Each structure stands twice: as C-alpha cells, then as structure tokens.
C-alpha cells in the first residue's frame, strides 16, 4: 500500500459526459501528479500540482482540467468524453525535494461507451 | 527536452536465468534516474533512484547502475523468479520540484517456469 488513494476504482460512462477522479496523496506529500495509461501505451504525464499550484503540464487535453485543494487532495476533471479517453488514470504523490520518488495510487479505470 | 528509451521492449527469460535491460538517454541534463516495477493489475512501485555517474543500487536480486557519461542505466535481475514478471519503467526527473518526470515505455519481462 503506497498510501495514495484514488476513487473511484472503476467508472463507466457515455461519450459527451463529464467525470471527476479524486486522489488523496500520502500524508505529508505536497506534490500530486496525474498520468494516463491507454491500452498498450506507456504512462503519459498529464499534470503536476504542488501545494495547490500547477507546477508542470504534460500532454493534457483542453477538455481535461485538474486542481489541488487546501487539504492537498486533487481532482482530475474530464469533460466531453470520447471513446479514446478510456484508460487507466493514475495519481502519484511525492515529497518536496528534487528527484523524489513518486508513490502511485491504485488507479481509476475509466471506460467510455 | 528529456528523452528516455528502453530496450528491449519485451523479454522472455527462463526461471533461474539472469537478465538485464537498458534505459538510455541522449542527454545527461537531468537530476535523477528512477527505476519502477509495474506488475499487471497493480500500480508502479519504486525500485531505485540514482543521481550520480557510477551510482549502483541493489535490492535483493535486483541491481541497477548509472552511467551518465555514456547515457545509459542497466537494470540487472539475478536468478529470475516468476514474481519478477512485470514491466520495468525507467524515468528521468529534472533539477527542480517543478520539473516533469519523463517515463520510458518500459521493458516487459516474462519469466518462464
């Protein structure tokens, strides 16, 4: 158990809909990262937050957004969903130092029908 | 821009055999190199973090080396066991806590009993 929690574990929805994925980092970690893993693809970095502020952005679509709240939990919002958004979405957290290990949550599996 | 390549893409090894695979990078302009193990239906789990040229890390039967001058890191597994079957990810992180972490596409290792 990494100490990072993600909800829900599974999500099935329809095209055009909007969903919110939630992540709680390890106790004491200020950085939260979101990744997408599509079928047969590697981990694609989406976005990083540090203590409530966006720190780095990867290949995140404009239809996707994220935020980190004062209690440090983070939410990833996916809107106008398309079939191709079906994927496993991971959240990871790390401490404040440079080059720190990231600890991954169990992931949320999203299926868009 | 950091770029990470891993080879081979997949590997099948007989139980008991030793094996190794490579993470290569064209530039040493990064702070840390990370190795993660990613078992099927689980989330990535950190194995090692290395920062200096010549670094060697070991955990049980698994070890890793870093050569920043020639642009590669090796991961070695001695006496492979079925539980070593997983995808092994290499990742590079930059010099600030705002730097993205860039993951390679991984080496998928299968151990034949």
User: A13-50, pLDDT tens digit by residue?
Assistant: 999 999 999 999 999 999 999 999 987 778 899 999 99
Let me know: does A32 contact A24? Beta carbons within 8 Å: no
For residues A41 and A52, the model is more confident at A52
Rounded average pLDDT over B54-63: 95
Average pLDDT over residues B29-49: 92
As a whole number, mean pLDDT of residues A76-102 equals 92
Pairing type for strands B5-7 and B10-14 reads unpaired
Pair of tokens at residue B78: 């001695």
Q: Do B43 and A104 touch (CB under 8 A)?
A: yes
Residue of chain A with shortest Cα separation from B88:
A42
**Residue in chain A lying closest to B47 (CA):** A101
Instruction: Report whether pLDDT(A6) > 80.
Output: yes
Tell me if the bond preceding A103 is cis, omega within 30° of 0.
no
| B106, B38 contact by CB (below 8 A) | yes
| pLDDT at residue A9 is higher than 70 | yes
Is it the case that residue B98 has pLDDT exceeding 70?
A: no
For residue B7, pLDDT over 70 is answered with yes
pLDDT at position B58: 96
Whether residue B29 is predicted with pLDDT greater than 90 in this model: the reply is: no
Task: Examine the pLDDT at B9 and tell me if it is beyond 60.
Answer: yes
Residue B31 has pLDDT above 80, yes or no: yes
The answer to whether the CB atoms of A43 and B103 lie below 8 A apart is yes
The pLDDT value recorded for residue A19 is 98
**Tokens representing B23?**
């993470």
- CB-closest option in A31, A33, A99 to B31: A99
Q: Are A105 and B43 in contact (CB < 8 Å)?
A: yes
- Which pLDDT score is estimated for B97? 65
C-beta of residue B90 within 8 angstroms of C-beta of residue B41: no
Flag if A56 and B43 touch (Cβ within 8 Å).
no
Whether residue A113 is predicted with pLDDT greater than 90 in this model: the reply is yes
- The pLDDT of residue B2 is 62
Q: What average pLDDT does the structure give for chain B?
A: 91
Mean pLDDT for A48-76 is 94
Q: Coil, helix or strand for A84?
A: helix
Q: Quick one: what percent of chain A has pLDDT higher than 90?
A: 81
**From the list B45, B100, B104, which residue is nearest A56 (CB)?**
B100
Q: Look at residue A67 and tell me whether its pLDDT is greater than 90.
A: yes
Distance CA(A15)–CA(B91), nearest Å, equals: 33
Candidates B34, B89, B98; nearest CB to A56:
B98
Residue B30: pLDDT band by 50, 70, 90 thresholds? confident
| Contact criterion met (CB < 8 Å) for A90 and B96 | no
For residue A60, count other CB atoms closer than 10 A to its CB.
16
């Amino acid at each position: 158990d990494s100490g990072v929690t993600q909800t829900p574990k599974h999500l099935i929805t329809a095209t055009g809909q909007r969903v919110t994925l939630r992540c709680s980092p390890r106790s004491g970690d200020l950085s939260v990262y979101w990744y997408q893993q599509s079928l047969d693809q590697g981990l694609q970095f989406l976005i990083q937050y540090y203590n409530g502020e966006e720190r780095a952005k990867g290949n995140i679509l404009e239809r996707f957004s994220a935020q980190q709240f004062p209690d440090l939990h983070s939410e990833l919002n996916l809107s106008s969903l398309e079939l191709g958004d079906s994927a496993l979405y991971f959240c990871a957290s790390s401490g404040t130092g440079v080059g720190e290990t990231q600890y991954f949550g169990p992931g949320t599996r999203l299926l868009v029908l | 821009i950091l770029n990470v390549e891993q080879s081979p893409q997949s590997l099948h090894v007989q139980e008991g055999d030793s094996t190794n695979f490579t993470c290569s990078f064209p530039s040493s302009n990064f702070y840390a190199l990370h190795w993660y193990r990613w078992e099927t239906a689980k989330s990535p789990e950190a194995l090692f973090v290395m920062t200096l040229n010549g670094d060697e890390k070991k955990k049980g039967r698994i070890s890793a080396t870093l050569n920043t001058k020639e642009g590669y890191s090796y991961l070695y597994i001695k006496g492979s066991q079925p539980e070593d079957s997983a995808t092994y990810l290499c990742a590079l992180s930059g010099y600030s806590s705002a730097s993205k972490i860039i993951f390679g596409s991984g080496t998928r290792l299968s151990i034949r009993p």
